[in-house]
Structure 1
Amino acid sequence: MDIEVVTEGLQFPEGPVAMADGSVVLVEIKRQTLTRVRPDGTQEIIAELGGGPNGAAVGPDGAVYICNNGGFEWAEADGLTLPHGTPADYKTGSIQRVDLETGAVTTVYDACDGRPLRGPNDIVFDRSGGFWFTDLGKSDGDRMHMGHLLYARPDGSLIRRAREGMVTPNGVGLSPDEKTIYVAETHTSRVWAFSITGEGEIAAPPNLFAPGKVLGPLPGYQMLDSLAVEAGGKVCCATLVNGGITTFDPNGGFEHRPFPDPLITNICFGGPDMQTAWITASGTGKLLMGRWPRPGLRLNFNA
C-alpha cells in the first residue's frame, strides 16, 4: 500500500473525519484543538478545546462533536510524542460541540447519572442521530478507572451507560446494518461485538462467562486504539506498538498493515468510492493517506 504524507507537524493528531469538501478535520490532543487539514496539507485551527480532545464525529446538525478526555501529561522519546498519566489541572472529561462556522465550543455532557465522565475517547453517530461513545477512564500510575460504553443524544436530553466495567474501551463503531456495536479495548487488544436491542441498549450477557462476542485478542504485546468499519463489515483498528491497522473479520481472523509510526491511532475513509484512507500517525505528528483495498462504510452525517 503506497502511503502519502498529507501534512506533518501536528501535535498528536487523532479523530480524523473526511469532509465533503475534501479536507480532513481532526483533533490535536497535545495542542488541544480541532484542526482542518486541506488537501494541499495546509492546516487551519477551527477551535481551541482545552483538556484532551480525543475523538470527533459530525452530528446531524452539521456540528462536530468531540470526546474530550480531560488531558494528558506528555513526554518526548526517540523522536516520538508520548501521552501518559493525568495532568495536575485535570477536572473531568466531557462531550463538546463545535460549530464549524464560528468555532464556538459548548459542553454537552460532563457526567452521566451524577458520575463524572473520566476520559471520553471515541464516538460514532447512528442513523437516528444519537451517538455511542467510549469512556476509557484515567490513570494516575497507581489506579486506573474501569471504562464504559455510553449512548447519548446530541441535544443534551439523554445519556446512559450501555455497558460498564470495561478495560480501557477505546475505538467504537457500528456494523453496516447497525445491529452491532464494536468496542476496541486498548490494553486487552480485543474487540467486543455487542448486539444492539434499542436506543443505547445492548443485549444482556448470555451468561457470566460469555459477556459478548470477542474478536481477537492479538498475539504478543500489541494494543488497540480507535477504529472504523468497512462497507463489507470488517473492523479496522488502529494498532499501537506494532504500528499499523489491524482488520478483524467478524467471522474470524485478522490481517495487519504496517505504517511507519508505532503510535497509529485512527483511520477514516472518504473519497467518491470510500477507498481513500486517512491514518493518524500520532507519535510523529503526521496525517497519512493511502488507497485502501476495500471501501469504508460511509458515516451517517457529514458537513
Structure 2
Amino acid sequence: MKIRELATGLQFPEGPIAMNDGSVLLVEIARGTLTRVTPDGKVHVVADLGGGPNGAAIGPDGAVYVCNNGGFAWTRDPGNYLRPIGQAHDYSGGRIERVNLHTGKFERVYEQVDGIGLRGPNDLVFDAHGGFYFTDLGKVREHEMDRGGLFYAQPNGSGIHAVAKPVMTPNGIALSPNGQTLYYAETEGARLWAFDVTAPGQLRKDPWPSPQGARMVVASPANHWQRFDSMAVDAEGNVCVATLMHGGISIVSPDGQHVQHVPLPDPFTTNICFGGPNRRTAYITLSATGRLVAIDDWPTAGLALNYNA
C-alpha cells in the first residue's frame, strides 16, 4: 500500500472525518483545536476548544460533535515522538461539545451523567436514529486511574444514560453495517468487545464472567506489546482498529477469526476513517509524528456513516 502524506506538523491529530468536499476534519489534542486539512494540504483551525478534543463525528444537524477529554500532560520520547502521559495539571473536565462548522462557535452539550462528571470522553458514533454512543476512557493520575463507561445520548442535550459501566479504558467505538452490533476497543488490554443492540441506546448483556456484559471479539496476541485505540468499520463489516506500539491498523473480521495487520510508520497510529471515490481511501492519523496520511487502495470500501457534510 502506498502512503500519501497530507499534512505534517500537527499536534497529536485524532478523530478524522472525511468530508464530502475532499477535506478532512480532525482534532489536534495537544493543540486543543478542531482543525480542517484541505485537499492541497493546508491546515486551518475551525474552533479553539481547549482541553483535549478527541473523537469527532458529524451529527444529524450537520454540526461536529467532539468528545473532549479535558486535557493530557505530554512528554517527548526518543525520536521526538509526542505522547500523552496522564491527566493535565490544568485539566478542565470531560465534556461533549457541539461545533458549528460555519461559524466555529461551540457549546458544551453534556458534562455529566446522573450527577457524575464525565472524566475523559474519547470517541463517538451516531446511529441511524440520530443518537450517539460514546466512550469515556477516564483519566490516569500518578497513583490512580478512573474506570470509564459507554453512554448513549441525544445531540440536542435532551437525554443521556450509561449503557455499560464500569468499563476499563474504553476507547474507539463503532457500529456494524446493520447497526445491530456496537463495538468498542479496550486500550490497556488491547481487546475488541461487542454488544448486541436491541433498541436505540439499549444493549443485550452477557452474564458473568463478562466484566461489563460484552462478548470479546479478539485479544492482542500475547507476544505483541500493543494497545488498541480508535476504529472504523468497512462495508463488509470488518473492524479496522488503530493499534498503538505495534503501530498500524488491525483489520478484524466480525467473528474475530481473521486478523490482518497493516503496519504504519508511527507507534501512535490512533485513528482511521474512509472517504474519496467509493470510500476506498483510508485517512489515518499518525499522532506521535504529527501527520495525517492517506492510503488510496484500501482493500475494502469503508462503511458509509449515517451522517456527513
The question of a shared fold, defined as TM-score above 0.5 by the shorter chain, is answered with: yes
Deviation at 1:212, TM superposition (A): 2.4
Letter of the 1:272 counterpart? P
Deviation at 1:76, TM superposition (A): 1.2
Matched, 1:90 2:87: no
Distance 1:60 1:238 in 2: 26
Deviations 1:71-127 (A, max 9, x none): 000111221111111112113100000000000010000000100000000010011
Instruction: Name the residue aligned to 2:239.
Output: 235
Instruction: Name the residue aligned to 1:278.
Output: 283
Deviation at 1:186, TM superposition (A): 0.3
Letter of the 2:277 counterpart? P
Letter of the 1:51 counterpart? G
Instruction: Name the residue aligned to 2:40.
Output: 40
3-state SS of the aligned residue for 1:20? coil
- For 1:71-220, list aligned pairs within 5 A: 71-78=71-78, 79-205=80-206, 207-210=207-210, 211-219=213-221, 220=224
Distance 1:271 1:82 in 2: 30
Deviation at 1:15, TM superposition (A): 0.1
Provide the alpha-carbon RMSD of the alignment: 0.8
Distance 2:127 2:171 in 1: 18
- For 1:18-29, list aligned pairs within 5 A: 18-29=18-29
3-state SS of the aligned residue for 1:273? helix
Deviations 1:151-172 (A, max 9, x none): 1000000101000011100000
Letter of the 2:302 counterpart? G
Q: Could you list the runs of 5+ residues in structure 2 that have no partner in the other structure?
A: none
CA contact (8 A) 2:95 2:112 kept: yes
Matched, 1:293 2:299: yes
3-state SS of the aligned residue for 2:97? strand
Instruction: Name the residue aligned to 1:55.
Output: 55
Deviation at 1:215, TM superposition (A): 1.7
Distance 1:88 1:44 in 2: 27
Distance 2:162 2:92 in 1: 21
CA contact (8 A) 2:195 2:205 kept: no
Distance 2:92 2:278 in 1: 42
3-state SS of the aligned residue for 1:85? strand
Deviation at 1:134, TM superposition (A): 0.2
Q: Could you list the runs of 5+ residues in structure 1 that have no partner in the other structure?
A: none
Count of aligned positions: 302
Distance 1:201 1:147 in 2: 18
Instruction: Name the residue aligned to 2:273.
Output: 268
Alignment match of 1:257 (pick from 249, 255, 262): 262
Distance 1:149 1:122 in 2: 10
Q: TM-score, normalised by structure 2?
A: 0.96
Letter of the 1:233 counterpart? G
3-state SS of the aligned residue for 1:221? coil
Distance 1:212 1:170 in 2: 15
3-state SS of the aligned residue for 2:277? coil
Distance 1:14 1:201 in 2: 28
Distance 1:262 1:167 in 2: 22
